[in-house]
Amino acid sequence: MRVRCYLNIIGIVLLGLGLAMSAMGETTTKVSLMLSAETARPGETVMAGVRLQMQPKWHSYWVNGGDSGLPTKLDWTLPPGVTAGEIQWPVPEKLVTPPLTTYVYQDEAILLVPLKIGADAAAGSLDVKVKVTWQECSDEVCILGHTTLEAKLLVGGESKPSADAALMAAAREKLPKTEAIPPISAKWEKDDDTRPMIIEWNAPGK
């Protein structure tokens, strides 16, 4: 009886291992880390950008993946005095593959994260490190990928934008706006197990 129990456990472990390996296949997405500044002063905020470049027919996921799909996760390793803020997610696309609806990025997405440099940060070179875990899917398969990326930031007496600053400024334009939002209202339409919600807002120019 006890031997059968052990065999069952071993079987479950092997099955789980097999599933995990199939989910950790070879990824196709190119992932890179960029910083908005080459040099920054203590007390400033530098933007970090994690750029995901998907192959054609592949996508990664928004913070809400929808009916399936895992959002990209970032785990930072930062020097003392530097803190990372929340991920700022660009507006995704809606992908409908009945019966599933997901919110995805195709082609490319740059996830922006503010890095706050402490006012008392010492001058010198800082190592910024992030572990990126993402899910990429095609029509047929999903793969969980992860990689660790590093960048260097100089803290000194001046601010100097990096070569990626323009790309990151363009990425900022793809974030949802938090200002100049059109007047919007929402209401429940009727009571039901699943409630219809009506959202309405002013059409542009009206």
Partner 1 sequence: MTGVDFFPYASDKYEVKGETERLPDADGKIRIRKLVSKSGADWPARINGVLVSKAAGDGAPQGYEVNLTLALLSAAVPGATTRGTCGCVFDCDAGFCVSRRVDIEHHAVRVAGDSVEGARVREPDP
58 vs 56: CA distance, rounded Å: 5
Measured distance CA(175)–CA(70) in Å, rounded: 20
Contact by Cβ (8 Å): 186, 196: no
Pick one of 3, 4, 26, 195: the residue that binds partner 1 (CB under 8 A): 195
3-state secondary structure of 163: coil
Using CB under 8 A, pick the residue from 7, 100, 123, 166 that binds partner 1.
100
Instruction: Please identify which residue in 3, 21, 163, 186 interacts with partner 1, judged by CB under 8 A.
Output: 186
Side chain identity, residue 36: S
Check binding of 197 to partner 1 (CB under 8 A): yes
Beta carbon of residue 163, minimum distance to partner 1 (angstroms, whole number): 23
203 binds partner 1 (CB under 8 A): yes
* By the rule CB under 8 A, 201 interacts with partner 1: yes
> CB under 8 A: which stretch of 26-34, 37-45, 77-85, 192-200 binds partner 1?
192-200
CA distances from 76 to 2, 115, 124, 146, 155 (A): 45, 10, 20, 13, 18
Contact 39, 99 (CB under 8 A): no
Stretch that binds partner 1, among 73-81, 100-108, 138-146, 150-158 (CB under 8 A): 100-108
